[in-house]
A and B are shown apart, each in its own frame.
Chain A
């Protein structure tokens, strides 16, 4: 597609439930990123994929968070046993490779009630 696409755009879930957020990067982009943004803060890095592998997952806050990119294109961010503190905008971004310009999607707004 023309830009980074994220679904759903909004998700409300109950505390303790499992959530999946999907990202479709710009066609041909090998690098994919997930960021999280809380209200009033700048985006915070979660994980970086180069191709299918997670090259840097140092930003994942704990083991409830996991992301995959099995075919080197679409990625899914998975959150288990959601907590109210997980409420945030989850941003996906992609680039043509390390050092290339990074382009962001519109985000998935997650609310845990």
Chain B
């Protein structure tokens, strides 16, 4: 699976949108972009995934560039409970496992 690059940390004000970037310049055509987050002392939580179209669910939006070499996870109205490590992971369509990097520590400030 292609590797991803994320900033180690970011800050966001409560109530504002949090935009978390991810670079995956070597992504292949059949590889998906997955986002998970891990709140302190909990297991990783699935957020969203996409192939090439933008995706939205009740938690977040995923914007994938046209060349698919990067993506952005958007939390539209960040709350203090969104403080967590966010992992961007590229995974092949039939690949059975996820390979985690170090992720981005998002801190939402009051």
Task: Determine whether the beta carbon of B96 is less than 8 Å from that of A48.
Answer: yes
Q: Are B100 and A44 in contact, with the CB atoms below 8 A? A: yes
* A4 contacts across to B, CB distance below 8 A: 43
The answer to whether A43 touches B100, judged by C-beta atoms less than 8 angstroms apart, is: yes
Instruction: Indicate if the CB atoms of A98 and B96 lie closer than 8 Å.
Output: yes
Cβ distance A77 to chain B, nearest Cβ, rounded Å: 15
* Stretch in A13-21, A61-69, A102-110 touching the partner: A102-110
Q: Are B46 and A103 interface neighbours, CB within 8 A?
A: yes
Cross-chain contact of B43 among A42, A50, A106 (Cβ < 8 A): A106
- Give the chain A neighbours of B92 by CB distance below 8 A: 99
Chain A interface residues toward B at CB < 8 A:
4, 31, 33, 35, 41-45, 48, 50, 55-56, 91, 93, 95, 98-99, 101-107
